[in-house]
Every structure is written in C-alpha cells, then in structure tokens.
Amino acid sequence: MKSFVAAAAFAWFTVANAGTVVWDGSFTPFSSPSDFDKWHVGTYQWYIHGSGPTSSYLNPGAAYKNPAVTREDKGLKLTVDSTSHWNGQTMMRTELIPQTSANLGTGQMYYHFSLKRESVNPPGTSEHQVMFFESHFTELKVGVGSDPTALSWCINGQPKWSTPFVAGTWYNFAYDINFSGNTVGLWASTGSNPLQRVMSNQSASTSTNSADWHVGVLRLGDSTTEDWYISGVYIESGSLTTSIGSGTVSTTSTQTTVSESTSTSTSTSTSRSTSTSTSTSTSSSTRTSSSSTSRSTSTSTSTSSASGPGQTLWGQCGGQNWTGPTTCAQGTCKYSNPWYSQCLN
C-alpha cells in the first residue's frame, strides 16, 4: 500500500523562537495559590472554580512543570474534585482565563501548552473539555471516541486526532489557528521533542474575544478527584516555534511523506519513507521563500494483534506500542508519525 500524507506529515525542522509572543501564560510569577486570587492584576483571570479555597484547585511549583520547558521555572497542578461546581452548574470546572489587552484572535496565532497526568488521581472516563474556547471550535477532550482514556483533539466538538494519555509523560501541543482564513490545525510532541504537525488545518469557526480561552478542565458526570499538570502556556503570532525548551532545529513548514508497508500473516509490518521538504514563511509586509531537501530511509518492525473489529473513523489504527485495532471499519489507516496512525477518509 502507498499513501502520500501531507496533511499529517512530519515537520522535523523548524526555526526555533520563530514567532512573536503576544501573551505569556508562564506560571513563574505565581509563588503560591493565593497569587491567583489577585487575578485583576495578573496574567490570568481566576473565577471559574468551586467553593473551596484556591489551594484546593491550583498549586504552582517547580515539580509541576515540563522539565524541558526552559522559559519558566514553575508549572501548575490543577485539581478538579467533587467541590468544583461553579455558579450552580452541574459540571465540575477549574479554569483560568487570559487577562490581556492584546488581540489574541487576529491573523495567524499559535496557542502553546503542555499537559501531563500521573497514575495518582488520573482523569476518569467521563467527558472532559480541556484547554478549550468558549465556542468549542477547537479543544482537547478525554472521555470521547473509541478510547475514553485517550487525549482527543476536536474541531467543533468532533474528534479529529487522538493519542494515548500515558501517566508521567508530558504532551506538548500548539493549536495552529488562522483567524483570517477560519482554519485550525494541530502540532504535537512528547517530552522534549520538537513539535510536529499531526493534523493539517481544517475549516472551523475560529473566533475569540481574547478572554474566552479556558486554560483548565471542564468535567461532566464524575465527582472523583483528578490532578492535571500544565506547563509552557503562551500564545505567539507569525511563525511557529517548534522547539520545547532550548532545543536546536532547522527550517520547514510542509513535507510530503511516501510510505510503503507490507505485512505478513504474523502481523509483522515494515515501513519505509522518503521525504522532501520545502519551506515558505509569510508576513503582512514581506514574503520570503527558502527550500531544503532531506531524504531519510528508515525501517521498523513491530508485531501486534489485529484481531477484533476494525477501528472507527478518526480512531487510532497504529503506532509504536499500539495494541488496538490495526484495520479500519471505515476509511483507510494512514500513517502520521512513528507513534500514531489514524483511520481517515
């Protein structure tokens, strides 16, 4: 089988520190939970939470940040529990809102953040809306799709991409939002690895009043205690910074990957890829183009069980250590990167 995958191909080489930070959500300035209570003078508004003290829901600290993120010295442990009902609502919510005079909804913006969970107080399998906009044109979710424990990226509430949410692993994301073109895509990685494009931009009703991006978690139908860890929050305009921390990388924006795979009756598969990348950057006043070509050939072998029903549309169908369905009940299993393949039309 051959597939030409540009929409979810690698973006291995991108300029570090390429964009302009328009809002910095670093938790470095917050020495204690009580600092969030001064939200009228800080970088966040803090009013969507339960009836308990702030320390029940927000705790900044060095132990809670992604170690790869060098731009801040603290991360945040965010807790949702049975007391997290806000304003008489039945759902449970612990959420921060950016407080800024900057316009966070114009032109090309990248919304960056890193998430982690641990084996203690993990998320349940009821629906969670995570790092979402008020209109829900894009967000992460847990508790939806064929694997309710996975992290799923959604457009208008519909899952488009997902990844297993493994305890102790930092997941880095950037929402790629073109507010002028009304499209949104997704970049992702784990640990200290540079961001890679995992989903190309798709049509969406992109909008924000610069005070409706919810940095936190809204949970439906569960009253257990959960801890979420958040780090590396910032928004940049222009070009995308793909490095996490101080990693060094080179330049690209699009790449076409050709993958060939064969399989035997023992479910052993071999994949090879050859890549050519080109790069174009655009700003309102200047346009520059550069191109580079990289070729790589890799061979990997994995064995997994393909028994049981095929995966549903948009579900995961392959990747390193994947033990679920490897065929699609609807659509075709298309390679995105070494740790994720997805059933797509």
Q: Within a 10 A sphere around the Cβ of 330, how many other Cβ atoms?
A: 13
Q: Are 276 and 261 in contact (CB under 8 A)?
A: no
Using CA atoms, how far apart are residues 195 and 203, in angstroms rounded to an integer? 22
Q: Are 293 and 282 in contact (CB under 8 A)?
A: no
Using CA atoms, how far apart are residues 73 and 298, in angstroms rounded to an integer? 37
Residues, the chain: 345
pLDDT for 215 equals 99
Amino acid at position 204, single letter: A
- Output phi, psi for 35, to 5 deg: -65, -25
pLDDT for 251 equals 30
pLDDT for 186 equals 99
130-158 average pLDDT score: 97
pLDDT for 177 equals 99
pLDDT for 75 equals 98
Using CA atoms, how far apart are residues 266 and 87, in angstroms rounded to an integer? 56
- Residue 328 is classified by DSSP as B
Where do the structural domains in the chain lie, given as residue ranges?
20-237, 315-344
Q: Are 284 and 298 in contact (CB under 8 A)?
A: no
188 is written with which tokens?
Answer: 């992702």
β-strand pairing of 332-337 with 300-303: unpaired
pLDDT for 309 equals 72
Class of domain 20-237: mainly beta
Checking if the pLDDT of 3 tops 50, the result is: no
Q: Are 39 and 47 in contact (CB under 8 A)?
A: yes
- The 3-state DSSP composition of the chain as helix, strand, coil percent (nearest 5) reads 5, 45, 50
Using CA atoms, how far apart are residues 24 and 21, in angstroms rounded to an integer? 7
Q: Within a 10 A sphere around the Cβ of 148, how many other Cβ atoms?
A: 16
pLDDT tens-place string over residues 76-90: 999 999 999 998 899
273: pLDDT confidence band, cut at 50, 70 and 90? very low
Query: Which residues, 6+ apart, have CB-to-CB distance to 332 below 8 Å?
Result: 3, 343, 344, 345
Helix (H, G, I), strand (E, B) or coil at 143: coil
pLDDT for 318 equals 74
Q: Are 252 and 12 in contact (CB under 8 A)?
A: yes
pLDDT tens-place string over residues 8-46: 333 333 334 579 999 999 999 999 999 999 977 789 999
CA distances from 166 to 160, 205, 260, 312 (A): 19, 31, 29, 21
Using CA atoms, how far apart are residues 45 and 22, in angstroms rounded to an integer? 17
Tell which residue, 317, 315, 314, has the closest CA to residue 327. Answer: 317
The dihedral of CA 200, 202, 206, 211: what is its sign?
Answer: negative
Q: Give one DSSP letter per residue of 169-235, joined into a string.
A: --EEEEEEEETTTTEEEEEEEETTPPPEEEEEEEE------SS-EEEEEEE-S--S-EEEEEEEEEE
pTM: 0.69
β-strand pairing of 196-203 with 75-80: unpaired
